[in-house]
Structure 1
């Protein structure tokens, strides 16, 4: 099942707010699509947009799409945009298309044991990050 957040000019998450998709069994985690023209702001520790699989999962993780070419994407103060596979399935991908990306003690991560052994949580295959932002800070 896909999650689509569309129609807002700005999306802001803080104070441990999350948009999350997850699987712990044999069904694929859903995709998350965020579409906004102005800005995406993730602030504060435990604030996140997550697509993940649990260690008991045998299926694939979901993808995260940030589209609509937001003018500003800000991930700060411990917030994260993350896909991962802790189980045996393939981890999802992150597709981020925007104008300006600022990471200020924030994280964009794609984690799985197969391709990224130093940031691993499972035995699943690779995940990818596709970033298209002319301005990066």
Structure 2
């Protein structure tokens, strides 16, 4: 059984212009880091011209599809009937993308099959995490 789930999604970048650019993005879940998901964007979608990946909690993604969630760098909320808005806050500014809620739900269902919500602690490798934390000290 694979320990990683990756799912391509079409994200629509919200810009000041009335037209929204569609760009590919990849959602990723790794049961070795069971509380987190990531969303990666290709270089062409960023101001720096480099691939960018944002990591945030799986719980935040689930909550944000049903109501506004998040107070920090990542904020998620429903938008209309079938979309979810993900806001990524950085020093350079705010990136907002719309993703079809059905795609996000499918991704979370697949993650749920891999690691059921509430069982994340069973998949933590505390010895490895402590070694990583104290490595070199």
Instruction: Give the TM-score band, short-chain normalised.
Output: under 0.3
What TM-score results when the alignment is normalised by the length of structure 2? 0.21
Higher strand share: 1
What TM-score results when the alignment is normalised by the length of structure 1? 0.21
Higher helix share: 2
